[in-house]
């Protein structure tokens, strides 16, 4: 008879730990607070790094932060928004070294898009970030969209789809998980779900032929995760936004066959929680089928505890099942992890050893994407004037465009010329169009937003979003017209 000791039976995971395990939260500041370290030790499922966490930090400093998070909670997935182009967290103060989606889609090379995803993966692996909340799979079919715009690869679904798939392949081929967003598609809306509750008012047949095409391509490319959007889709659910809607999320699971992690967009956004509060939105989202709940930036630990308690209460009273939480936690555990990425990424003075960023290819793509409308005047001695307008919340208040000599409001007097006038999304800002109407030649307009309709008398350059290679392409064209900077 064997006398070997029996293994102790595995203890069931507590309901409190399961409820924490589906939450992806964010603290304020560049250091891990003690109360968040305690939450991580208790099973917090993820940390999302926003601008307040990264700021002007080097990759080495970000890596020190992610190492601290991982030491406190090895189970936690660490994420951020690194889309390239306009939306960058790691390069927010200088500008992204890679083209954004709209420029890549216009450049037309899926190889360049794939290489861009790989270059972004190198940065993220060096910083210790597991999951990139990118790329954007929204088809920007509404040029007046206030929150997607140049973050989208195209206004045409099949072009967007091939670039979404290539970006996912480049990123995940280097070991970092992709979270494609914002399902079922935020591109045909005219409101920002950070601030309101947009409606995608289209028939299901239209949605299938337009919005779903890039998401289907992402699923086929093996995307690790898909992020929801806080938009109402009356063809599927006339009341609840997609993040909280079982019929909308069933479209992703059943029609597209996605079996990875469904990540909610930030639940502090008005589209999700303005009328019900974040804890209630969290319960509804889990019940609808989401797995990992993003809670938005700079949240106090006490709020995370309240959300955990709301989820536990929902299980206790039968609105949610324990099995649903266990399923979500299992999916989250299967996400790729930066420490497993075979990049050879090393942090030292902010340098990365891994796939080399092909700056020449990025520059060529920027020139291919750049629209030049009209004949540029003699720009010798021209000053750069930035017309200040609020950035959308996803981009944030970060530097954009060429370094300005003067920054003005749309209602300010127009400086004397010659001028290079920089704007963002002038086509949807009447006050900016009025300002441009007062600008006298010689001058040129540089539109850094989506290249919307334009009937102005001045020549216009459209780089399709801000990035360092895009800025250099614009500068090269301006220098060809005599600009001397």
| Sheet with 459-462: strands ordered across | 371-373, 459-462, 443-447, 419-423, 383-387, 406-408
- Whether residue 47 contacts residue 69, with contact meaning beta carbons closer than 8 Å, is answered with yes
Residue 196 exposure: Cα atoms within 13 Å on the Cβ side:
12
Q: Which of 123, 138, 192, 265 is catalytic?
A: 265
To the query of whether residue 367 is one of the catalytic residues in this protein, the response is no
* Contacts (Cβ under 8 Å, ≥6 apart) of 184: 200, 207, 211, 212, 215, 229, 233, 242, 248, 251, 252
Pairing of strands 237-241, 232-233: antiparallel
Neighbours of 479 (CB within 10 A): 12
Helix, strand, or coil here: 364? helix
* Cα-to-chain-centroid distance, residue 84: 9
3-state secondary structure of 267: coil
| Residue from 91, 163, 186, 194 carrying the catalytic annotation | 194
412: annotated active-site residue: no
Q: Give the residue from 18, 32, 34, 44 showing the smallest Cα distance to 304.
A: 44
Contacts of 307 (CB under 8 A, 6+ apart): 19, 23, 278, 279, 282, 293, 295
Longest C-alpha distance within the chain, in Å? 98
Tell me the sheet residues that pair with 444. 420, 459
- b/e sequence 25-35, b meaning 16+ C-beta within 10 Å: bbbeebebeee
DSSP for residue 412: S
Contact criterion met (CB below 8 Å) for 108 and 56? no
b/e string for 363-392 if b means 16 or more Cβ within 10 A? Answer: bbbbbbbbeebeebbebeebbbbbbeeeeb
Cβ count near 7 (within 10 Å): 6
Active site members? 194, 265
């Amino acid at each position: 008879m064997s006398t070997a000791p029996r293994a102790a039976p595995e203890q069931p995971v507590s309901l409190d730990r399961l409820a924490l395990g589906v939450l992806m939260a964010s603290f304020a500041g560049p250091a891990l607070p003690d109360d968040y370290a305690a939450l991580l030790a208790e099973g917090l499922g993820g940390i999302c790094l926003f601008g307040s966490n990264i700021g002007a930090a080097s990759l080495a400093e970000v890596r020190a932060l992610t190492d601290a998070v991982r030491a406190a909670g090895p189970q936690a997935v660490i994420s951020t928004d690194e889309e390239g182009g306009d939306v960058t967290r790691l390069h927010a103060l200088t500008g992204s070294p890679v083209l954004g989606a709209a420029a890549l889609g216009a450049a037309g090379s899926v190889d360049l898009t794939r290489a861009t995803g790989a270059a972004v993966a190198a940065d993220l692996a060096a910083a210790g970030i597991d999951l990139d909340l990118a790329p954007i799979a929204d088809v920007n079919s509404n040029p007046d969209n206030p929150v997607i715009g140049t973050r989208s690869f195209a206004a045409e679904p099949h072009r967007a789809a091939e670039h979404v798939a290539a970006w996912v392949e480049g990123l995940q081929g280097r070991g970092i998980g992709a979270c494609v967003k914002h399902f079922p598609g935020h591109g045909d809306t005219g409101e920002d779900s950070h601030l309101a509750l947009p409606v995608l008012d289209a028939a299901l047949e239209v949605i299938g032929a337009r919005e779903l095409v890039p998401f289907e391509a992402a699923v086929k490319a093996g995307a690790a995760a898909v992020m929801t959007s806080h938009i109402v889709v009356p063809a599927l659910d006339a009341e609840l936004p997609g993040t909280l809607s079982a019929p909308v999320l069933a479209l992703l699971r059943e029609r597209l066959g996605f079996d990875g992690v469904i990540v909610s967009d930030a639940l502090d956004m008005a589209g999700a929680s303005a009328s019900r509060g974040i804890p209630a939105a969290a319960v509804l989202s889990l019940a609808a089928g989401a797995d990992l709940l993003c809670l938005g930036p700079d949240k106090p630990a006490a709020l995370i505890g309240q959300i955990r308690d709301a989820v536990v209460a929902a299980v206790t009273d039968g609105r949610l099942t324990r099995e649903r939480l266990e399923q979500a936690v299992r999916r989250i555990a299967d996400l790729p992890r930066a420490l497993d990425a075979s990049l050879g990424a090393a942090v030292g003075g902010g340098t990365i050893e891994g796939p080399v960023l092909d700056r020449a290819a990025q520059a060529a793509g920027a020139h291919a994407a750049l629209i030049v409308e009209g004949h540029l005047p003699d720009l010798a001695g021209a000053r750069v004037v930035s017309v200040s307008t609020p950035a959308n919340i996803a981009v944030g208040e970060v530097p954009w465009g060429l370094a300005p000599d003067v920054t003005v409001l749309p209602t300010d007097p127009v400086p004397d010329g010659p001028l290079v006038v920089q704007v963002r999304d002038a086509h949807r800002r009447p006050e900016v169009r009025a300002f441009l109407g007062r600008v006298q030649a010689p001058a040129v307009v540089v539109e850094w937003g989506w290249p919307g309709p334009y009937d102005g008398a001045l020549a216009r350059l459209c780089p399709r979003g801000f990035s360092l290679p895009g800025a250099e392409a614009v500068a090269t064209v301006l220098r060809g017209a005599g600009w001397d900077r």
